[in-house]
A and B are shown apart, each in its own frame.
Chain A
Amino acid sequence: MLEIKNLVVQIEDKRILNGLNLTVNNGEVAAIMGPNGSGKSTLSYVIAGKEDYEVLDGEILLDGENILEMGPDERAAAGVFLAFQYPLEIPGVASMTFLKAAMNAQLKARGESELSTPDFIKRVNAAAAQLEIPKDMLKRALNVGFSGGEKKRMEILQMALLRSSFCILDETDSGLDIDALRIVSEGVNALRSPDRSFLVITHYQRLLNHIVPDTVHVMHSGRIVRSGGKELALELEANGYADYRESEAA
């Protein structure tokens, strides 16, 4: 379970999150929608532990433990996974090398023994097949020359292999065509389980047709301004964010 309490965050003296509160229960898929600049991506980075942000107040509790003092690697080992909006290209690092390093680093951090090479390859191949990732892609340098869809599938592959308990999808639908959106969504849906929760950040309701959320939260000016069930996404799609902008102006 993830609980965010009164989170206040700034970057370079600019306040981005203004006392944000949010709870995501185990097994829950929570969607966050909001206009550009409302702080959605900042929230995902702050949960994952990016250094550039200054947390002025509040806490982020993962299963009751405050993760704000942890480094990004420790948070990953504790179960946080961020699927990046723009996955980074790492020339010179083969995807397989990277996956093995990441999986073993997390196993080590949890005090478990490292994977043998055959076990590792077996796991990767099984997960890759489900996401329709060709083996050839895994031999290439991580994300280098990958299409938008391939990069997002690679993110979901990592999510599957790292067995994280709290997964953030930061605008995973951006840059995806219809087929890629389906493959990625099916990959995520296959990972839904009572002990894994998701925070799905998106601009559009379209993704939520594929990954049906349990709860929908509207974010504006660094706060959650409204919460509801999946029907809230449809309402937003019909009316836009104008209501929230007006309330801000008023």
Chain B
Amino acid sequence: MAAITLMKTPAETALVQAFEAAKATLPGDVESRAQAFETFNRNGLPHRRVEEFKYTDLRALVREAAPFAAKPSLDEAKRALLDAKSFAGVDAVRIPFVNGHLVDSAIAFDGLPEGIDVVPLASALASGHEWLSRLSPVDWASKNPVYQLNSAFMADGVMIRVVGEVTTPIHLQFVTSSTTPVATATRVLVVVEPEASVTLVESHESTNGAAHQPNDVVELIAADGAHVRHVRLNAEGDQAIALSTFAVKLGAEASLNTINVAVGSSVFRHQVFGVFSGENTTAQINGASMLKDRQHGDTTLIIEHAAPHCESRELFKTVIDGEATGVFQGKIIVPPHAQKTDGRMMSAALLLSEGGAMNNKPELEIFADDVQCAHGATCGQLDDDLLFYLMARGLPKPEAESLLVQAFLGEAIEFVENDSLREALIASVEAWLRARG
């Protein structure tokens, strides 16, 4: 049999070259990076014949590999942060990144609120910091090519440890200000120690008109009895191809309330990998995506109920306008011993145009016999009777539509307890609706 040689796409070839060029200068252990890259490189960019990427063919979508962004000058970084808009009005401890690099001078490491420790990742990698052993807590992520690419290239990030009840939100602020397309790879690890609680906020914004390629990973370890609220906003520029992963490991008696709201990017793939590793833990995992023009937005979710007596609720809403395509792939896995698992996953799409498309793929893999699991997926359009009702009260059609779209997305957003965060998210929805016209 003839040997089969896989043809590499220009983007894949460029990634190989980029890794060869960068590996000596990237911080930390070259060997583990090389291993991650090799694992990625064996199969290359995932394509439609790979089941998990059936609806988001990265080999076709990523035509060229953008060069990795250099660290910006302090002036440049400051200017970029002044222009950053996401959650600007929210009182928070800010941890800013510009072009994928931590702006450490903007963080008063000594003046952080009690209970928060922040360690820059680049120096931690270089020095072999003891917390590094806690990276990659979720196997589902480690097996994933997007994550592997991040592991190979991660240039900067932070590791955060939370002890006790921290009331001020921590805002991980990612801004890409480069006017030419750049790639970034950041890694954040957040360890919330037993009985501690925290609110994590992520915002991702970048310049319009440049095909940036961010690949961001946030890893969360919520120890026993920890409570975490997490809000993520994708407000990337209109040409960005944004890959992101949120990997979370939850201990016993813990809780997680998370939402990803997407209003930006040309293409995005947001992956959530969650593992329940202790009993009596609850998670509310939500998402709200707004897609228009020819945007492509993919949310892929794997939740493993690895411990009994846990409850998860997944609620994802997608609004599709123009010729946009939405993807939702959600899988709940219940191993044989995870009795009394209670999992409910719902994905609802609202199609505002004739040309839009939604691919919903909910899955349950249940090996235990005493569980309650359900999933649902809907695609629909705005209800004509509701529109008439609102218009009969004087609302012009665009306003009536906006109100109904807000109501549709609101069901996912209303789980955000922090008023200023919730209002900021609603403002993003309103801005999207206004831009739609």
A contacts, CB < 8 Å to B: 48-52, 71-73, 75-77, 80-82, 84, 87-88, 90-93, 97-98, 101-103, 105-106, 109, 141, 158, 162
16 contacts between A and B (CB under 8 A): A52-B384, A71-B391, A73-B400, A75-B392, A76-B393, A80-B392, A84-B389, A87-B389, A88-B385, A88-B389, A90-B389, A91-B411, A93-B407, A98-B393, A162-B393, A162-B394
B388 touches A102 (CB 8 A): no
* A48 to B392 Cα, complex, angstroms: 6
Contact for A92 among B390, B396, B406, CB less than 8 A: B406
User: Chain A contacts of B411 at CB under 8 A?
Assistant: 91-92
Extra A-B contacts (17), CB below 8 Å, given A105-B393, A105-B395: A48-B392, A50-B388, A51-B384, A51-B388, A52-B384, A71-B391, A77-B394, A90-B386, A90-B407, A92-B410, A98-B403, A101-B395, A102-B395, A103-B394, A105-B394, A106-B394, A109-B396
Contact present for A76 and B389 (CB under 8 Å): no
Chain B nearest Cβ from A159, distance in angstroms = 10
Residues of B with C-beta under 8 A to A109: 394, 396
> Would you call B337 an interface residue if the criterion is a C-beta within 8 Å of the partner chain's C-beta atoms?
no
Measured CB to CB, the closest approach of chain A to B297, in angstroms, equals 21
- Cβ-closest chain A residue relative to B408: A92
B404 touches A73 (CB 8 A): no
Contact between chains at A76 and B394 (CB < 8 Å)? yes
Contact with B394, one of A87, A90, A91, A102 (Cβ below 8 angstroms): A102
Give the distance in Å from the alpha carbon of A93 to the alpha carbon of B390 in the complex. Answer: 11
CB of B434 closer than 8 Å to a CB of A: no
Q: How many whole Å from A198's CB to the nearest CB in chain B?
A: 16
Which residues in window 294-322 of B have CB below 8 A to A?
Answer: none
Nearest to A71 among chain B residues (CB) is B391
Q: Give the docked Cα–Cα distance between A75 and B384 (Å).
A: 17
| Closest B residue by C-beta to A52 | B384
Tell me which of A50, A84, A92 has the highest count of chain B C-beta atoms within 10 A of its own C-beta.
Answer: A92
User: When A51-B384, A105-B399 are in contact, do A72 and B392 touch as well, CB less than 8 Å?
Assistant: yes
Question: How many angstroms from the CA of A71 to the CA of B390 in the assembled complex?
Answer: 12
User: In whole Å, how far is A42's beta carbon from the nearest beta carbon of chain B?
Assistant: 14
**List of B residues within 8 angstroms of A97 by Cβ:** 403
Task: Please indicate which of the listed interface residues A75, A76, A77, A162 has the most CB atoms of chain B within 10 Å of its own CB.
Answer: A76
| Shortest beta-carbon contacts, A-B, top 8 | A92-B407, A76-B394, A72-B391, A106-B394, A102-B393, A92-B410, A105-B394, A73-B391
- Tell me which of B394, B411, B414 has the highest count of chain A C-beta atoms within 10 A of its own C-beta: B394
Tell me whether B436 is interfacial, beta carbon within 8 Å: no
Question: In the complex, what distance in Å separates the CA atom of A103 from the CA atom of B395?
Answer: 9
Q: How far is the CB of A36 from chain B (nearest CB, A)?
A: 21
Whether A73 lies near B389 (C-beta < 8 A) is no
Chain B 369-390 per-residue mask, 1 if CB under 8 angstroms from chain A, else 0 = 0000000000000001110111
Chain B 2-42: CB-based contact to A (< 8 A → 1; otherwise 0):
00000000000000000000000000000000000000000
Nearest CB in chain B to that of A84: its residue: B389
B132 to chain A, nearest CB (A): 44
Tell whether B397 is near chain A: CB-to-CB under 8 Å. yes
CB distance from A34 to the nearest CB of B (A): 22
- Please state if B407 and A91 are interface contacts (CB–CB under 8 Å): yes
Return A81 CB to nearest CB of chain B, in Å.
Answer: 8
**How long is the Cα–Cα vector from A49 to B392 in the complex, in angstroms?**
8
Residues of B within 8 A of A80 (CB): 392
Could you tell me the distance in whole angstroms from the C-beta of A171 to the nearest C-beta in chain B? 16
Give the contacting residue for A73; candidates B385, B394, B406, B408; CB below 8 A. Answer: B394
* Complex CA–CA separation, A162 to B408 (angstroms): 26
B391 and A101 contact, CB distance less than 8 A = no
Closest residue of chain A to B388 (Cβ to Cβ) is: A50
| Shortest Cβ distance from A82 into B: residue | B392
CB-defined contacts of A162 to chain B, threshold 8 Å: 393-394
Using CB atoms, name the residue of chain A closest to B407: A92
